[in-house]
Every structure is written in structure tokens, then in C-alpha cells.
Amino acid sequence: MNQPKFERARSPEAKLIRETAILQAAERLATEHGVRAVTLTDIASAVGMHKSAMLRYFETREEIFLRLAADGWREWSQDVRDRLCPPAGKGAADTETGPAAVADVLARTLTARPLFCDLLAHTPLNLERGVSLDAVRIFKTLALTEAAAVGSALCAVLPLTPAQAGNAVATATGMAGALWQMAAPGTELRRFYEDTPELAHAVVDVAPRLADILTAVLRGYSTGNAA
């Protein structure tokens, strides 16, 4: 299959088209193979560019994935808020507002986004370390804003302080990233765990385990505040 050949972008519109193509290729490859396995060369090949030409649009491979992580934060935050506190005219919330039900919303919306879960683990380990400080500032500002928005939604449906809600969001996203790496879905390692009886305990089912952990956190905070 012939790859498209991109000429250098000479207008803001053309530059945006190139950036979008690069992000879409990176998203597709990382979803199929995992963030860890995708190189800058892989992404360049997928969009028909030489690796050196990619530097006109993104500083590094890490910047590409940090941009995708930012998109993930926006989408997840909006999804949680729509489910817990739907805007007027969009119907009622799709769940009860007890700790277990809210924990289930957080767990389900995270695990419905496999790439975001993968990126959550890689972000502090290497993505933020492989870009400029300006890029880190932009990403962190956005992520903290979206996390605070989710925290506000939690405070609206449960008796939590803003600090407790922030801890719950940090637990949800931190554990989602860690558990996703442990689960290793779609990898040879996961198949090895599943095919080796003595390692059956190593098979992680992310959504129910995450929901159980978050239920304990939210119920503990809610009960303590009520008392």
C-alpha cells in the first residue's frame, strides 16, 4: 500500500492538517500496539513522512503522545460530568449517586478509553520528561483543570470536600494507569498469564478492581464526613 507523501506545510491550515494526521496515526498505532511499542519512525511511516520532517510539527515522540493524553483528559472529564451532572435538557444522570455507583462511573469511563489508561501510566514516567518545560506547562494546566472539573462533579453528588474529591480523581486516574499496565491487555504477556495456571492470580480485570478501590475511597470519605 502506497503511503501519502506530504509536502512541507506553508500555511497555518496546512500545518494543522499535518499535525492532525500525525496525531491520528499515533493514536491508531498506540491503540493497536501500546504506547511503549510505537516509535517516531513508525508514526512517520504511517503518515508518509521522513522522521526528520516530523520535527517541524512536534518536538519529540513524547510531545505527540502528551497531546493525545491532553485530548484524553478533556474527553474523560466531559464524559464523567455529563453522566454525574448532565446539563439541563440532556436528561437525568445515568446513575444513582451513592459511592459505589459513582465509583462505577469513574471506572467504566476510564476503562472505556484504553489508550487514555495506557497514557496515564506513561505521562509521569517519560512523556513529561521528553518535552520542553513550556509543553509540560500547557499539558499540566489542562490536566489539572479537567481533574478539578471532575472533582467538582463528585462534590455535587457526594458529601466530599474539594481536597477529598481531588484525591479521589488522582486515585482513579493513577490506579487506572497502573492497573492497565498490570493487565497488559492484548499482549503476549497477558496471554502467558492466562495460559499458565499458577499465574492465574496475575490476570487483572481492570474495571471491577478499580471500581472496588474507588468505592472504598469514596465511601470512607462520605461516611467520615457524615459522622
Written as nine digits, the cell of 124 is: 509521569
Q: Which CATH homologous superfamily contains domain 61-226?
A: Tetracycline Repressor, domain 2 (1.10.357.10)
Distance (Å, rounded) from C-alpha 160 to C-alpha 223? 10
Quickly count: other Cβ atoms within 10 Å of residue 178's Cβ.
Answer: 16
- The domain locations on the chain are 1-58, 61-226
Residue 95 has pLDDT above 80, yes or no: no
102: CB partners within 8 A, 6+ apart = 84, 95, 154, 157, 158, 214, 218
CATH of 1-58, one of 1.10.287, 1.20.120, 1.10.10, 1.10.3470: 1.10.10
The reported pTM is 0.87
CA-to-CA dists, residue 60 to 39, 42, 54, 66, angstroms: 10, 13, 8, 10
What is the number of helices (H) and of strands (E) in the chain?
A: 10, 0
Give the amino acid at 173: T
pLDDT(69) > 80: yes
User: Do the domains at 1-58 and 61-226 have one common CATH topology?
Assistant: no
- Is 2 or 177 the better-scoring residue by pLDDT? 177
- Alpha-carbon distances, residue 24 vs 27, 67, 97, 213, 226 (angstroms): 5, 11, 36, 33, 47
What pLDDT is recorded for position 61?
A: 95
Per-chain mean pLDDT for the chain: 90
